């Protein structure tokens, strides 16, 4: 029965709630505690109880109440006049704000623009105008990864090209949001769907993934990302595409953050690379450093390679022993505090809804408010529960368990060179 204040509760639900609270009270529970368990206040219980005692039942009369007619309400004749005016041939292509002004130019005023809109909507005459498609409110793409190779993100960024001013090279990068590892990358002189398809092929080969790996690949809405050639390759490999909302740049935050790291690296040549091979050599050095040496703050300062292979747990034990030894040697410096949390990240959420994906994680999403859990369930492919408190840990898991095989390939940094196509 819990919910927002002012919600409508049916008479049958009220009667059932009163019965349950009375039964709990007879068994030693206080009215206050029993009411809170049902999601209502003690005052609400006594109001329902008084209504049932006085009238024989407790019923919400807001839906059946007789309300006074507003003094400023339009008469039936006024509504008919508005409909007659807007359906005249001279006003057929005009919205209400134009119609009201044109009538005022002739010395007539009937109602405001908002009233015109209300009358049109009430009579099913308010439709989308113009040749453009009606705007749709897109639900944010929310995905959760609990292991490597469950959710990848990718994007393309510009690299400066010094020989020709205004000309750029293009860096393609695919990374895993769980481990932050750069799975595959390449520098090309153009943005094409064929290049993108080849890069995804390399990434799947580098990770030795099976066909239909239950993998999600998230990107923005660029032309290469939505081209038929690229989508056909994803379908062939069994990869599920996911996209950011139109004109929302931060829906692909992991890819954008990675590109910031790329361009703020100390040896990045902001004045421009000499040629494409120069750019590729620099990117190779960066990827080797990023995957194997960079302690990433988002995964509690382990390297992406350690997270991707599971070596982070051994590294955690080494760090824990170092902290414990330091604490035992100088306990006065710790003031009774425990050592810092050294555990690797176990759950990563792309675009957490209202922050709950990050706050609760997959295993805790059943504690999220009812308005949050169903939106995450839309991405799971599973049926929605009938009640919010029936959302289980399994129901909110984004993807099923996936067989992941770790095998080295190419140079170990995502560039495979010339490889046979599947």
Q: Which domain holds residue 90?
A: 76-122
User: H/E element holding 313?
Assistant: helix 312-329
- Judge if 90 and 178 occupy the same domain: no
Residue 129's pLDDT band, with cuts at 50, 70 and 90, is: confident
136: in domain? no
Residue 148's pLDDT band, with cuts at 50, 70 and 90, is: very high
| Distance from chain centroid for Cα 261 | 23
Q: What pLDDT score does 324 carry?
A: 95
- Judge if 20 and 87 occupy the same domain: no
146: in domain? yes
Cα atoms found within 13 Å of the Cα of residue 222, Cβ hemisphere only:
17
d(CA 132, CA 111): 29
Q: Tell me: pLDDT of 212 over 90.
A: no
- Judge if 46 and 108 occupy the same domain: no
d(CA 340, CA 29): 42
Residue at token pair 């006065």: 332
Q: Tell me: pLDDT of 233 over 60.
A: yes
pLDDT tens digits for 244-292?
998 888 899 999 999 999 999 999 999 999 999 999 999 999 999 999 9
104: in domain? yes
- Judge if 41 and 148 occupy the same domain: no
d(CA 414, CA 422): 17
- Judge if 150 and 15 occupy the same domain: no
pLDDT tens digits for 149-169?
999 999 999 999 988 888 999
196, 237 contact by CB (below 8 A): no
Min mean pLDDT across 43-47, 260-264, 313-317 is at 43-47
Extract the tokens encoding 396.
């909110």
128: in domain? no
Q: Tell me: pLDDT of 348 over 50.
A: yes
Pick left, alpha or beta for residue 310 (phi over 0 → left; psi -120 to 50 → alpha; otherwise beta): left
- Judge if 253 and 382 occupy the same domain: yes
Q: Tell me: pLDDT of 390 over 80.
A: no
d(CA 355, CA 302): 24
d(CA 187, CA 416): 13
44, 52 contact by CB (below 8 A): no
* 8-state DSSP, 302: B
264, 257 contact by CB (below 8 A): no
In 10 A of CB 36, how many CB atoms? Answer: 13
Domain boundary residue, one of 67, 88, 108? 67
214: in domain? yes
- Judge if 263 and 225 occupy the same domain: yes
In 10 A of CB 359, how many CB atoms? Answer: 13
What angle in degrees, to the nearest 10, is found between the helix axes of 113-122 and 76-86? Answer: 90
- Judge if 302 and 359 occupy the same domain: yes
d(CA 397, CA 83): 52
The total number of residues shown for the chain amounts to 422
350, 220 contact by CB (below 8 A): no
Our count of domains for the chain comes to: 3
* 8-state DSSP, 249: G
Q: What is the CA radius of gyration of the chain?
A: 31
Q: Tell me: pLDDT of 334 over 80.
A: yes
Percent of the chain at pLDDT > 70 equals: 83
Q: What pLDDT score does 354 carry?
A: 64
32, 42 contact by CB (below 8 A): yes
359: in domain? yes
- Judge if 4 and 93 occupy the same domain: no
Q: Classify each residue of 96-111 as buried b or exposed e, where b means 16 or more C-beta atoms within 10 Å of its C-beta.
A: beebbeeeeeeeeeeb
DSSP strand E in 142-278: where?
A: 143-145, 151-160, 168-176, 182-188, 215-219, 239-243
Q: What pLDDT score does 400 carry?
A: 31
Residue 2's pLDDT band, with cuts at 50, 70 and 90, is: low
For the chain, how are helix, strand and coil distributed in percent, rounded to 5? 45, 10, 45
Q: Residue 154's closest CA among 213, 189, 198?
A: 198
385, 171 contact by CB (below 8 A): no
| Angle, CA of 239, 244 and 248, to the nearest 5° | 165
134: in domain? no
- Judge if 390 and 413 occupy the same domain: yes
* Residue 229's CATH number: 3.30.420.10
- Judge if 100 and 159 occupy the same domain: no
């Amino acid at each position: 029965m819990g919910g927002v204040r002012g919600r409508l509760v049916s008479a049958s639900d009220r009667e059932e709630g009163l019965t349950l609270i009375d039964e709990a009270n007879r068994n030693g529970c206080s009215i206050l505690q029993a009411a809170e368990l049902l999601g209502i206040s003690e005052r609400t219980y006594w109001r329902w109880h008084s209504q049932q005692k006085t009238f024989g039942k407790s019923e919400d009369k807001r839906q059946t109440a007789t309300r006074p007619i507003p003094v400023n309400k339009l008469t039936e004749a006024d509504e008919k006049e508005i409909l007659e005016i807007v359906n005249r041939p001279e006003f057929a292509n005009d919205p209400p704000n134009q119609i009201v002004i044109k009538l005022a130019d002739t010395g007539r005023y009937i109602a405001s623009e908002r009233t015109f809109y209300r009358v049109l909507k009430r009579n099913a005459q308010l439709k989308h105008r113009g040749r453009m498609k009606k705007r749709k409110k897109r639900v944010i793409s929310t995905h959760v990864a609990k292991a490597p190779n469950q959710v990848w993100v990718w994007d393309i960024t510009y690299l400066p090209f010094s020989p020709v001013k205004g000309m750029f090279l293009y860096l393609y990068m695919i990374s895993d949001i769980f481990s932050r590892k750069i799975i595959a990358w390449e520098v090309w002189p153009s943005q094409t769907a064929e290049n993108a398809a080849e890069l995804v092929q390399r990434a799947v080969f580098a990770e030795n993934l099976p066909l239909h790996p239950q993998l999600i690949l998230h990107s923005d809405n660029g032309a290469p990302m939505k081209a038929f050639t690229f989508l056909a390759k994803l379908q062939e490999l069994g990869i599920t595409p996911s996209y950011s909302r139109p004109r929302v740049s931060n829906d692909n935050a992991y890819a954008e953050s990675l590109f910031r790291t790329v361009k703020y690296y100390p040896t990045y040549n902001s004045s421009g690379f000499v040629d494409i091979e120069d750019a590729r050599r620099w990117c190779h050095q960066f990827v080797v450093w990023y995957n194997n040496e960079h302690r990433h703050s988002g995964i509690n300062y382990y390297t992406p390679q350690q997270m991707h292979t599971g070596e982070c747990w051994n590294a955690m034990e080494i760090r824990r022993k170092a902290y414990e030894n330091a604490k035992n040697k100088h306990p006065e410096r710790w003031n009774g505090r425990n050592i810092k949390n050294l555990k690797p990240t176990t759950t990563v959420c792309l675009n957490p809804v209202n922050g709950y994906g990050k706050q609760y994680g997959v295993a805790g999403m059943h504690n999220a408010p009812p308005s949050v859990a169903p939106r995450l369930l839309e991405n799971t492919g599973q049926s929605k529960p009938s009640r919010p408190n029936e959302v289980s840990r399994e129901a909110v898991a984004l993807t099923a368990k996936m067989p992941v095989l770790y095998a080295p390939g190419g140079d170990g940094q995502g560039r495979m060179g010339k490889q046979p196509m599947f």
